[in-house]
């Protein structure tokens, strides 16, 4: 008669399991013993340029208050329509762009939480590259007043400036890597990884006191233009492998 093989003992199963666990723990330990790469240097370089701001954004607005919502809404719409009609006469893509902004109407409340009339506000934004035309246009609009003025770079101006400083920043990075290689006694280098980042200037608004003075200008007076300049910076970060 054939004999049935004996089932493994509990002691054998435990011993086998411990051997597998020991092998699993040993494998990461061996991987950790891999020596770190030698001759690797982290470095960064940057380049900047001053660019004339070529984009203006002017927000005009008006407010109304009263005891009933209907007349306030009608008055706001009339003021906005008049401003849009004037602005559309000179609108041109990229040069003078016009769009209606926020339009709000809400109840007023007393300290006791009771309704005490209504208040509303409407806005219109004029922006573009033709600062002279926009300045003249804002002076002809009488139904709305200037509430915000901001100067910035157009997309085309920003992209051109970033392309220029990117080439400069990369050149500065390569020169620095080459110099460091020679200082450490190496003959050359190869780039391991590299990242580029730009910190273009945010849109800058004029101080509120200056804006209020503009809003009080005569109906036919042009908006003073004070665009100024903006700084565009490109930074290159990364690591290089120095070679003998």
pLDDT of residue 13: 46
Q: What is the pTM of this model?
A: 0.69
pLDDT of residue 204: 58
C-alpha to C-alpha distance for 178 and 15, rounded to whole angstroms? 58
Question: What is the DSSP-derived secondary structure letter of residue 33?
Answer: T
pLDDT of residue 196: 92
pLDDT tens digits, the chain, 244 residues: what are they?
545 555 555 455 444 444 444 444 455 555 556 666 778 999 999 999 999 999 999 999 999 999 999 999 999 999 999 999 999 999 999 999 999 999 999 999 988 888 889 999 999 999 999 999 999 999 999 999 999 999 999 999 999 999 999 999 999 999 999 999 999 999 999 999 999 998 766 665 555 545 555 555 544 556 777 788 999 999 999 999 999 8
Triad 109, 72, 220: Cα angle to 5°: 125
Q: Which residues contact 233 (CB under 8 A, 6 or more apart)?
A: 46, 47, 48, 165, 198, 199, 200
- Is the Cβ–Cβ distance between 143 and 62 less than 8 Å? yes
Report whether CATH 1.10.10 matches the domain 55-108+120-153+204-226.
no
């Amino acid at each position: 008669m054939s004999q049935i093989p004996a089932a493994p003992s509990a002691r054998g199963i435990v011993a086998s399991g411990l051997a597998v666990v020991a092998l699993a723990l040993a494998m990461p330990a061996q991987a950790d013993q891999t020596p770190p790469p030698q001759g690797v240097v982290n470095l960064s370089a940057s380049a900047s340029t001053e660019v004339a701001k070529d984009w203006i954004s002017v927000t005009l607005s008006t407010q109304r208050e009263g005891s009933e919502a209907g007349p306030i809404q009608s008055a706001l719409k009339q003021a906005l329509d008049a401003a849009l009609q004037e602005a559309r006469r000179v609108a041109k893509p990229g040069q003078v762009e016009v769009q209606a902004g926020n339009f709000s109407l809400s109840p007023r409340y007393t300290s006791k939480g009771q309704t005490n009339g209504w208040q509303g506000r409407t806005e219109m934004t004029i922006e573009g590259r033709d600062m002279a035309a926009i300045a003249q246009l804002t002076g002809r609009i009488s139904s709305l007043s200037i509430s915000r003025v901001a100067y910035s770079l157009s997309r085309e101006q920003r992209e051109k400036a970033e392309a220029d400083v990117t080439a400069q920043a990369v050149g500065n990075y390569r020169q620095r890597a080459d110099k460091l290689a020679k200082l450490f006694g190496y003959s050359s280098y190869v780039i391991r990884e590299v990242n580029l980042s730009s910190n273009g200037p945010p849109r800058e608004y004029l101080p509120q006191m200056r804006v209020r003075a503009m809003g009080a200008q005569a109906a036919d007076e042009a908006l003073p233009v004070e665009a100024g300049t903006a700084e565009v910076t490109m930074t290159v970060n990364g690591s290089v492998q120095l070679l003998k």
